[in-house]
Chain A
Amino acid sequence: MKALKMMLAAVAFAGATAQAATNKEIINHVSYNVILATYNDLAAKTAELSAAVDALAANTNQENLDKAQAAWRAARIPWESSESFLFGPVDSLGIDPLLDTWPLNKLDLDSVMSSNRKITVDLVRALGTNLQGFHTLEYLLFGDGKVTNTKPAASLTAKQLEYLKASAQLLAEHTAELAHAWTTNYDPENPAAPGYVKVISTPGLNNEFYSSERAVMEEFVQGMMGIVDEVANGKMSDPMGADIGSANMALVESPFAWNSLKDFQHNIRSVYSIYTGHYKNSKGPGVKALVEKVDASLAARVEADILNCMALIEAIRPANGGDFGQAIFTKDGRARTQTAIDALNALHATLESEVLPTLDM
């Protein structure tokens, strides 16, 4: 019920703000106030995570561990909220795998912990992508996630704290590099290259990557479609398997913090942001403003569908505690997951067959 109220309020609001915007205005707003803002938030939140981990290492108590865990969850939000626009530097600078490789290699992590090796940023940098980034930090901060997603501060070893510090610092370094690439210079080899936000927000014949506004608008819509499909048919379907017997906890992402459902919601939240142009306190025209010109009812329906998908993902959460990884092992949880998957697939079909064609109307 609460979700429905929120949804109606948002629909009414966005309808009022996004009138008669041009593609240029949409692209400008989405590029700067959604995409760039998200990457700046990511850099800021990972820097805060690094500071929180440092504080935890300096003074290891439950309060500081709680703060570090909260900082991890907070940093996770902008990262997952960037997944409908994985364009440009996140790939070309090879940053994605350094932040978010799954699975974690627990065996090797244990082996580093039990060695006499001094743990430094450079050591972690040289280790595999599956020994750094969000999920390594998650495991060290939250424990193995099997019975609970909490970890007693007293169980943190000196080595784990060193590893936490080094990998949090590295995570913040990589996200700062990503934010710099979007704000200032997308190619460190070419000081004359602008921030990627400039590239995507100024399409035209002189633009190497996007020759028209339509091309950028298509990139936005394809990005929305891409993550909707990924959440439904990758992140949720794969671990769920065909039946309870084939459900696979090892395929669940963010299983240690029990943060999977939040991850998925923020993935879809990023679709909402591109569509409505609404990111945090910033409001402006998004893709919806273009759809509205062609078909106002379609424009409103898509927004409602996006919000409904987020609500259906939250509804997967087991009433008696746990997260996605626990839900897929119960009959009810699986039914709720399937409902969300079906809604996401329907949204994908609408984006492909109804929203995408509006670019040419």
Chain B
Amino acid sequence: MKAWIVLTVLNLMAGAALAAPQIDMDYVHAEKSGGETTVFFKGQSIWAFRNPAANLSEEEIARHLTGDALFERNFSDDPNRFEYGLGPVHNNTSCNACHAKDGRGALPVVPFNKEWVPLRQNEAVFLRISIEDGVKKPKTKENKFGAPVPVPGFSDQLFHLGSLGVREDLPGTGQAQVWMKYDKTQFTYPDGDVVELRKPVFKVMGAYDEYFDSVTGEMKSRLYEKDVRMGARIGTPMIGLGLLEAIKESDILALAQRDLSAEGVSGKANWVFDIEKSMAGDPYPVSMGRFGLKNNTPSVLHQSLGALRGDIGVTNYAFPDESIAGTPLYDAYRAGREPHAGLEATDQVANDIVFYSQTLAVPARRGATEAEVIRGAGIFHQVSCTTCHQPSFTTGDHPIQAFANQKIYPYTDMLLHDMGDGLADGRQDFDADGREWKTRPLWGMGHTQTINPRAGFLHDGRARNLEEAILWHGGEAEHSKNKFVRLPKADRSALIQFIKSL
């Protein structure tokens, strides 16, 4: 009872000062984050993200388990194996390798006495690449309705691993070698507390088209030209994706219509190429984006099968061509080899992976009745986190009945926001510009680092904990971050305790 009174006061304060949108404050006490799909984990466990939605039918659970095995399958480039399909270039060999135990990935280990380290086998991060001239173009069939422009001779993703035979000069390497180091800075709170922040910086070497320019004395590659933009992406959690897919488009678009100018916030939808519409012959195959760190894919199917072909190099019915088809590297690799007939993933395999990706359960809240957590929930709203980390939705229809009409608590508005220079990657992706990112869902956050103790937050995994993640917020989130940093330390801590309860 007492907690409710405190909250009401906070709510009124926030409302009076900011004209914040109406937020349904039931999130403070809600425990079933995924509605009836929710699974309950009282403790902390590496198994917290590995369960099928609680309300699936027996038949659906069997299908989920089939997909589970595929998610862990190590694809091979040996045509004699039934796991065939890996590569020829890739970033990893299984889905699970980037989404360890269905959770978040970590950046490569940089021992404290080292500076640059190479991305090797089994890293959970890769680079998106594209050509950028800063001019926004109309969506046409020719530019794949506004897709990033691939780097000529490469792709829109840099593959650092390759099957044997792809690079005679560098066995195991794909299109190029990628190295990483950290740039470190310090953030000082008004109360004097200091936090070290780190940001991964990448450099690319040993590109397959590299040559020595005797005039300039430099190594040259199309990849090293000034118009190439690169942005790192880390493996993200797999929970609740079917529920996010079931959120009504109209509800998301309504959030984009809010006037949040007082807070400096203006969320927007991304409108992106839709492979399912394209396959169905739609002349304008564009849909609202929901998945990917810039909302650059519209569905779990598009996202999963794109990753299957992209990250692992396994062709499938949605993405039938090898990711580097048409490049000199691919042509050289293919020469003298028998072409492989047909797709590498059968339609059944592809669809089971999609189904699995849709049906991983969100774990229930923990500690929702603890006073500190309840206090943190109020502060969460007080500093306007709820503006973008929209606590709840009620889902609409979905082909998987279990996800329809569920009251869920994902803590995302599913929209793009300018997050400032610190997080910018300078790459356009359909309607998302180089500073815009999708609001990440916060459900399951408290389990993340039990599942993977080195799991990193934000799009490139730079933040080692939630405090660092908050401090990187800029742009439209600057207003909230500034409120956060001015809080007394005990309040900052309560807010983080609340996020960990999710």
Contact = CB atoms under 8 A, between A and B. Distances in A.
A130 B74 contact: yes
A304 to B, nearest CB: 25
Contacts of A226: 47
Interface string A220-240: 001101100000011000100
B77 A108 contact: yes
A125 B170 CA distance: 12
Interface in A339-361: 359-360
Contacts of B94: 97
Interface in B95-125: 97, 100-101, 106, 109-112, 120-124
Contact of B120 (A103, A125, A214, A217): A125
Contacts of B47: 222, 225-226
A188 interface: yes
Given A128-B121, A219-B45, A234-B69, A88 B453 contact: yes
B80 interface: yes
Nearest to B50: A226
A91 B81 contact: no
A242 B465 CA distance: 46
Contacts of B69: 234, 238
Interface string B20-59: 0000000000000000000001111111000000000000
Contact of A248 (B82, B97, B452): B82
Contacts of A199: 453
Interface stretch (A59-67, A137-145, A189-197, A289-297): A189-197
A219 B42 contact: no
B74 A98 contact: no
Contact of B449 (A86, A105, A209): A209
Residue with the greatest number of chain A CB neighbours at <10 A, chosen from B100, B124, B453: B453
B109 A188 contact: yes
A112 B42 contact: no
B323 interface: no
B43 A214 contact: yes
Interface in A166-192: 186-191
Nearest to B367: A211
Contacts of B161: 128
Interface in A81-103: 86-89, 91-94, 97-98, 101-103
A209 B80 contact: no
Contacts of A126: 120-121, 170-173
A250 interface: yes
B74 A101 contact: yes
Contacts of A91: 46, 100-101, 451-452
A111 interface: yes
A287 to B, nearest CB: 13
Contacts of B398: none
A103 B163 contact: no
Contacts of B78: 103, 105-108
B449 to A, nearest CB: 6
Contact of B97 (A97, A102, A188, A209): A97
A188 B111 contact: yes
Interface in B390-418: none
A103 B76 contact: yes
A210 interface: yes
Interface string A101-142: 111011110011000010000010111111100000000000
Nearest to B170: A126
A218 interface: yes
B455 interface: yes
Contacts, number: 146
Contacts of B121: 97-98, 125-129
A129 B112 CA distance: 25
B74 A129 contact: yes
B205 interface: no
Interface residues of B, number: 49
A196 B79 CA distance: 40
Nearest to B173: A126
B492 interface: no
Nearest to A88: B453
Contact of B111 (A101, A117, A130, A189): A189
A218 B43 contact: yes
- What band does the interface of chain A fall in when counting residues whose beta carbon is under 8 Å from B? 35 or more
Interface string A311-339: 00000000000000000000000000000
B249 interface: no
Contact of A87 (B41, B46, B111): B46
A128 B106 CA distance: 19
B491 interface: no
A93 B454 contact: yes
A222 B447 CA distance: 14
A92 B449 CA distance: 9
B204 interface: no
A234 B47 CA distance: 16
A92 B43 CA distance: 20
B109 A189 contact: yes
B172 A103 contact: no
A244 interface: no
B65 interface: yes
Contact of A86 (B42, B46, B76, B455): B46
B83 interface: yes
B249 to A, nearest CB: 36
Contacts of A223: 46
Contacts of A188: 109-112
B453 A250 contact: no
B153 interface: no
B487 interface: no
B81 A189 contact: no
A215 interface: yes
A255 to B, nearest CB: 13
B170 A92 contact: no
Contacts of A101: 74, 93
B74 A92 contact: no
A92 B111 contact: no
B183 to A, nearest CB: 14
Contacts of B455: 92
A167 B109 CA distance: 21
A103 B81 contact: yes
Nearest to A87: B46
Interface string B273-301: 00000000000000000000000000000
Contacts of A88: 453
A105 B43 contact: no
Interface string B451-470: 11111000000000100000
A212 interface: yes
A162 to B, nearest CB: 15
A89 B454 CA distance: 8
Interface in B309-343: none
B360 to A, nearest CB: 15
Given A102-B74, A208-B449, A210-B450, A217 B163 contact: no
Contacts of B123: 94
B76 A215 contact: no
Which A-B residue pairs are the 8 nearest by beta carbons? A218-B43, A215-B43, A126-B172, A92-B454, A107-B78, A108-B164, A215-B44, A188-B111
Given A108-B165, A126-B171, A191-B112, 18 more contacts: A91-B46, A94-B106, A97-B74, A105-B77, A108-B78, A112-B164, A126-B170, A127-B121, A127-B172, A186-B453, A187-B453, A189-B112, A190-B112, A209-B450, A214-B43, A215-B43, A219-B450, A222-B47
Interface of B: 41-47, 65, 69, 74, 76-83, 93-94, 97, 100-101, 106, 109-112, 120-124, 161, 163-165, 170-173, 449-455, 465
10 contacts: A87-B46, A89-B453, A91-B101, A91-B451, A97-B93, A98-B121, A102-B74, A106-B78, A209-B449, A215-B44
